[in-house]
Amino acid sequence: MDQDYEQFIKNIKSKTGIDLSLYKEAQMKRRLTSLYEKRGFSNFTEFYSGLNKQRELYYEFLDRMTINVSEFYRNYKRWEVLEEKILPSLLERNSNLKVWSAACSTGEEPYTIAMILSKLMPMSKVKVLATDIDDNVIARAKLGLYPERSLNEVPDDMKKKYLKKEGTNYKVSDEIMKTVTFKKQNLLSDPFDSQFDLIVCRNVLIYFTEEAKEVLYSKFSGALKRQGVFFVGSTEQIFNAERFDLSSVDTFFYQKR
Ligand SMILES: C[S@@+](CC[C@H](N)C(=O)[O-])C[C@H]1O[C@@H](n2cnc3c(N)ncnc32)[C@H](O)[C@@H]1O
């Protein structure tokens, strides 16, 4: 790793607690370099001193490093498997499910989970924990307001029931919003809660180094109940899941043994 980036990583870690060395280097560097070049800096050292002087630039950096894209029912087919196969079998064992959407971004994912759970249990029992490292996305998630393009995959009945048009946006209904609790959490450094029946962590592990991923798989496995299920993103198969006491129950779903 070159010295300019290495020093930047150290500085950011002491400023924010975020350890960029656990994110894939080439990808992260490319994203940050294109940002600093656009803002007129020529290396990471200059960029870091800019970040300390301009608050806006600091927020822009955080935004660029976290990549917040999300949508409701992202990869629709997988959510069908969750609804028709995974959740019914979890509910056979336990009628109160402890559910976590990890790296939830702007909230589309935990709200999708809540909509699906509402079909399978009384709304009063639906509860979802949703966490992300980025305050900004959590604040947006709590507003529950989305442009039409994030709703492309929402089934019509769910859309009618739980999403109301407001101007050019759609607002998630209060009853769904009430079921989700948002919290700030850095997956790479903060402790995990435990005894989850279902953990959904999608489209964030791809940004981490292999070493960081391995640590996280162990932590996620440790946070699951026996027979609890870990649901990952559609490019994120776990190689040799058995090493983490997990076994594949369907594509992108792993069960704690
Ligand atoms: C591409 S979004 C994925 C959103 C959603 N899970 C989905 O699949 O649509 C990635 C999210 O991971 C979050 N993130 C990145 N690093 C993180 C970390 N160390 N701890 C917690 N969240 C993190 C980002 O803030 C961003 O909101």
CA of 132 to the centre of ligand 1 (A): 6
CA of 93 to the centre of ligand 1 (A): 30
In this structure, the residue with its CA closest to atom 17 of ligand 1 is 133
- 38 contacts 44 by C-beta, under 8 angstroms: no
CA of 66 to the centre of ligand 1 (A): 6
Question: What is the chain's percent helix, strand, coil content, to nearest 5?
Answer: 50, 20, 30
The separation between CA 73 and the C-alpha centre of its own chain, rounded to angstroms, equals 13
Sheet with 128-132, edge to edge strand ranges: 180-184, 128-132, 99-102, 196-201, 224-232, 253-256, 246-250
So where are the chain's domains?
3-66, 76-256
Q: What is the pTM of this model?
A: 0.94
What lies within 8 Å, CB to CB, of 178 at 6+ separation is none
Pick from 27, 140, 204 the residue to mutate for probing ligand 1's pocket: most ligand atoms within 8 Å of its CB: 204
Pick among 3.40.50.2300, 3.40.30.10, 3.40.50.150, 3.40.50.1970: CATH of 76-256 = 3.40.50.150
- What pLDDT sits at residue 66? 87
Atom of ligand 1 nearest to the CA of 201: 6
CA of 225 to the centre of ligand 1 (A): 23
What lies within 8 Å, CB to CB, of 235 at 6+ separation is 206
Provide the residue-wise pLDDT of the chain in tens; the chain has 257 residues.
Answer: 799 999 999 999 999 899 999 999 999 999 999 999 999 999 999 999 999 999 999 989 998 998 899 999 999 999 999 999 999 999 999 999 999 999 999 999 999 999 999 999 999 999 999 999 999 999 999 999 999 999 999 999 999 999 999 999 999 999 999 999 999 999 999 999 999 999 999 999 999 999 999 999 999 999 999 999 999 999 899 999 999 999 999 999 999 99
- CB of residue 216 inside a 6 A radius of ligand 1: no
CA of 72 to the centre of ligand 1 (A): 15
